[in-house]
Amino acid sequence: MEEFLKKTGWTSIITSVVTAIIGLMLIGNPNAIMHIVAYVLGTIFIVFGIVKLISYFVAKGTYDFYNYEMIFGILAIIIGVVTIAYRETIATIFRIIIGIWILYSGLMRLGLVTKLKSLQVNEWKWALVVAIFILLCGIFVIFNHAAIGVAIGVAILIYSIMDIIEGVIFLRNVDSIF
């Protein structure tokens, strides 16, 4: 169990480093990054839809569910086109999803704080500050409709740094948790 927790801690740190890089990219050129994300998502849906339609025509009559392949394919293509056409709306949805992810991460960190405090680990106060700050970043990203990409990038970067700090605290104390 301890090895699993250490791997999970390192995975969290690596994910936070990647998230920090995304935050830096958003700070540097937020509009371009949001448009790239919309184009990439749209293209993925379109390709997925085409694959499903090809699968439908290849397997026609072979499986009972082949009509679903056609329906999924058409829906995926429509979603892809809409994603590209309405990339500004997609950017807003993307911002909200990121905010919810950050908020969830902060709530999970609060659970860790209570565990660290019950084990009388001295760093629990720092972990609490980090968890509260992560929660505030998530709330900012979700509810600030006027937030520009740079602000989102800064919030993501701050979240990532706080998450890395919390991950290091977790890894240093994983032995005492179990």
State percent of the chain over pLDDT 90. 16
Identify the pLDDT of residue 85. 92
pLDDT bucket at 168, cuts 50 / 70 / 90: confident
- Rounded (10°) angle between helices 2-28 and 149-177: 170
Torsion angle defined by CA atoms of residues 77, 81, 83 and 85, in that order, rounded to the nearest 10 degrees: -170
Structure confidence by residue, pLDDT tens digits, 108-127: 989 888 888 888 888 888 88
Residue 78 has pLDDT above 90, yes or no: yes
Residue range 80-108, pLDDT digits in tens = 999 899 887 877 787 788 889 889 988 99
Q: Enumerate residues 6+ apart whose C-beta is below 8 A from 66.
A: 56, 59, 60
* Structure letter (DSSP) for residue 144: -
Q: Would you say 74 and 99 are in contact if contact means Cβ atoms under 8 Å apart?
A: no
- Tell me what pLDDT residue 65 has: 58
- For residue 154, what are the CA distances in angstroms to 66, 117, 132, 157? 46, 30, 16, 5
At 8-56, the pLDDT tens digits run 778 888 888 888 888 888 778 777 777 887 888 899 999 999 998 888 8
Residues 6+ apart with CB under 8 A from 73: 48, 49, 50, 51, 52, 53, 54, 55, 56
- Per-domain boundaries in the chain: 2-177
Comparison of pLDDT for 159 and 43, the residue scoring more = 43
Per-residue pLDDT, 2: 67
Report the C-alpha gap between 45 and 77 in whole angstroms. 6
In order, the DSSP letters of 82-132 are: HHHHTHHHHHHHHHHHHHHHHHHHHHHHHHHHHHHHHTT-TTHHHHHHHHH
